[in-house]
Amino acid sequence: MDARLEAIRDTVLARNPGEDEFHQAVTEVFESLGPVHDRHPEFLEGAVLERLCEPERQIIFRVPWADDSGRFQINRGFRVEFNSALGPYKGGLRFHPSVNLGIVKFLGFEQIFKNALTGMPIGGGKGGSDFDPRGRSDAEIMRFCQAFMTELYRHIGEYTDVPAGDIGVGGREIGYLFGQYKRITNRYESGVLTGKGISWGGSLVRPEATGFGTVIFAEEMLKTRGLSFDGQRVVVSGSGNVAINAIAKAQALGATVVACSDSSGYIVDEAGIDVGLLRQIKEVERGRLKDYEARRPNVTYVDGGSVWDVDATVALPCATQNELDGGAAARLVRNGLLAVGEGANMPSTRDAVAVFQDAGILFGPGKAANAGGVATSALEMQQNASRDSWSFAHTEGRLTEIMVGIHDRCAATADEYGDPGNYVLGANIGGFVKVADAMLAQGLI
Ligand code: NDP
């Protein structure tokens, strides 16, 4: 790392002790930015990096709610409003027991650059709670969402901060959150949340957008080597919103997706995953992946273990951060891997990224490859602002244009900075320069 940037990075780490994922995300971005500061000394003079690493606002709040047996439960809620240089804070809410400030900050930090890369007018933010939705009844989920919004509502708004979904927050939760926001504020403010239902202000393609976008990005990477998804053997981790839609899109492009996972284990289905059955189990029944094995022939379910033990030519990690380590990366590379598209945020450890890059694997980092979700959220905001709703084909066309644009911008930036094919460098520099320019233009704030 450039010595000037390393000194700033060390201060950031010291000021934010114990936030391991945030440290990892900051270090990974700083490693790309040395050459930018050679060309743009004004970024150092303007303390852009110091400002960028300090969120504009961090909100931590109590979420008190009653479970079905009437017992009071207390969770912790977070919203980190990281950077508004390009537009209102924008980023999802995660409900998962692992959520803490460091995780929300890593996600919010990544979101700044991702949102810049989309070319849409959105800043970066992220939030969530350590609430565990697993095993909770629908009524409990509703009461929790209402309690969460009862505090969050005072901090958000269509021109201020626009949350969406992430792990543990899908269409059902966005519905309960929106309902409570409307009740408290007495405003039908569609643009305050994205990922809404289609009949009440949502956008077609938003549910599919992250997974579809990841595959579109990976397809563009494959094209640079004269390849495509057609005929590829694909492994996907996770079986949630991003994973399921990535599987659907990869198979629509002619790939065979042979494995996917949840936090309990993984399935191997050599005939290609039956997306309809997977949706039925995960989205309708809210069941476990193990249920898939009994309902389809010739499927193996592996309890525990790592889905990355299954060979693939294309790997799409779509579950969570640091789920693919250096050992798994080396094994995949030895067994014929060509490309990785990160549907999740920071799913590959720094060791894994180094293995992929050293081996010349096409590697699309999450902040570029999974930007289709937030980009389509911005399209939802456009539709809300104009009180319009677009067709599936039109919206998917816009998503495709945006993903191809992100790919091409990352590739062009990597070329410009003398490291062709390095999408990590391209994404970090491409996103950073846009935000840094806007911050300098807006003065010391
Ligand atoms: P979902 O909650 O719909 O699905 C998450 C999936 O990942 C589930 O299969 C879950 O398994 C698995 N998973 C979650 N945490 C862990 C863990 N600690 N260990 C192993 N498996 C785990 O979330 P999404 O699909 O929305 O999000 C997946 C990833 O994509 C996240 O990194 C998210 O930040 C990122 N992302 C999501 C976007 C979106 O639009 N939704 C946009 C951009 C990025 P189980 O059910 O067993 O917990």
Q: For 410-444, write each residue's pLDDT tens digit.
A: 999 999 999 999 999 999 999 999 999 999 999 99
Residue nearest to atom 46 of ligand 1 (CA): 262
Q: What is the pLDDT of residue 31?
A: 97
- State the distance from the centre of ligand 1 to the C-alpha of 91, rounded, in angstroms: 15
Q: End-to-end distance of the chain based on CA atoms, in angstroms?
A: 27
Greatest pairwise CA separation for the chain in angstroms: 63
Residue nearest to atom 47 of ligand 1 (CA): 263
Question: At a CB cut-off of 8 Å and minimum separation 6, what does 254 contact?
Answer: 228, 229, 230, 231, 232
pLDDT category of residue 108 using cuts at 50, 70 and 90: very high
Q: What is the pLDDT of residue 258?
A: 98
Q: Are 244 and 267 in contact (CB under 8 A)?
A: no
Cross-strand bridge partners of residue 257:
234
What is the DSSP code (8-state) at residue 385?
Answer: H
Q: What is the pLDDT of residue 206?
A: 96
Residue nearest to atom 38 of ligand 1 (CA): 166
What atom in ligand 1 is closest to the CA of residue 107?
34
Q: What is the pLDDT of residue 53?
A: 98
What atom in ligand 1 is closest to the CA of residue 347?
32
What atom in ligand 1 is closest to the CA of residue 209?
40
Residue nearest to atom 5 of ligand 1 (CA): 240
- State the distance from the centre of ligand 1 to the C-alpha of 441, rounded, in angstroms: 36
Residue nearest to atom 48 of ligand 1 (CA): 263
| Catalytic residue set | 126
Q: Which of 117, 263, 264 to mutate to test the pocket of ligand 1 (most atoms within 8 A of CB)?
A: 263
Q: How far apart are CA 318 and CA 315, in angstroms?
A: 9
Residue nearest to atom 35 of ligand 1 (CA): 344
Question: Tell me: the pLDDT tens digits for 91-102?
Answer: 999 999 999 999
What atom in ligand 1 is closest to the CA of residue 165?
41
Question: Tell me: the pLDDT tens digits for 186-208?
Answer: 999 999 999 999 999 999 999 99
Question: Tell me: the pLDDT tens digits for 390-402?
Answer: 999 999 999 999 9
Q: What is the pLDDT of residue 173?
A: 98
3 state DSSP class of 8: helix
Closest listed residue to residue 28, CA positions, set 431, 437, 436, 394: 431
Q: How far apart are CA 343 and CA 247, in angstroms?
A: 11
Q: How far apart are CA 80 and CA 25, in angstroms?
A: 15
Average pLDDT, the chain: 97
- State the distance from the centre of ligand 1 to the C-alpha of 244, rounded, in angstroms: 10
What atom in ligand 1 is closest to the CA of residue 345?
32
What is the DSSP code (8-state) at residue 421?
Answer: T
Question: Tell me: the pLDDT tens digits for 319-365?
Answer: 999 999 999 999 999 999 999 999 999 999 999 999 999 999 999 99
- State the distance from the centre of ligand 1 to the C-alpha of 320, rounded, in angstroms: 5
Q: Phi first, then psi: what are they for 309, rounded to 5°? A: -80, -10
Q: What is the pLDDT of residue 178?
A: 98
Q: How crowded is the C-beta side of 96, counted as CA atoms within 13 Å?
A: 20
Q: What is the mean pLDDT of residues 122-134?
A: 98
Q: What is the mean pLDDT of residues 131-146?
A: 97
pLDDT category of residue 275 using cuts at 50, 70 and 90: very high
- State the distance from the centre of ligand 1 to the C-alpha of 328, rounded, in angstroms: 19
- State the distance from the centre of ligand 1 to the C-alpha of 318, rounded, in angstroms: 6
- State the distance from the centre of ligand 1 to the C-alpha of 233, rounded, in angstroms: 22
What atom in ligand 1 is closest to the CA of residue 195?
40
Question: Tell me: the pLDDT tens digits for 19-51?
Answer: 999 999 999 999 999 999 999 999 999 999 999
Instruction: Give the other-Cβ count within 10 Å of 37's Cβ.
Output: 17
DSSP letter string, 70-108: S-EEEEEEEEEEEE-SSSSEEEEEEE-TT--HHHHHHHH
Structure-block tokens of residue 11:
């201060």
Q: How far apart are CA 352 and CA 347, in angstroms?
A: 9
| Radius of gyration of the chain from its Cα atoms, rounded to whole angstroms | 21
Q: Domains along the chain?
A: 56-188 (3.40.50.10860), 208-369 (3.40.50.720)
Q: What is the pLDDT of residue 247?
A: 98
Closest listed residue to residue 300, CA positions, set 421, 314, 226, 309: 309
Q: What is the pLDDT of residue 400?
A: 98
Q: How far is CA 26 from CA 40, 127, 162, 222, 319, in A?
A: 19, 18, 23, 28, 21
Binding pocket residue ranges, ligand 1, CB within 6 Å: 165-168, 170, 210, 238-243, 262-264, 318-320, 343-345, 370, 373
Q: Which of 90, 129, 167 to mutate to test the pocket of ligand 1 (most atoms within 8 A of CB)?
A: 167
Percent of the chain with pLDDT over 70: 100
Residue nearest to atom 13 of ligand 1 (CA): 319
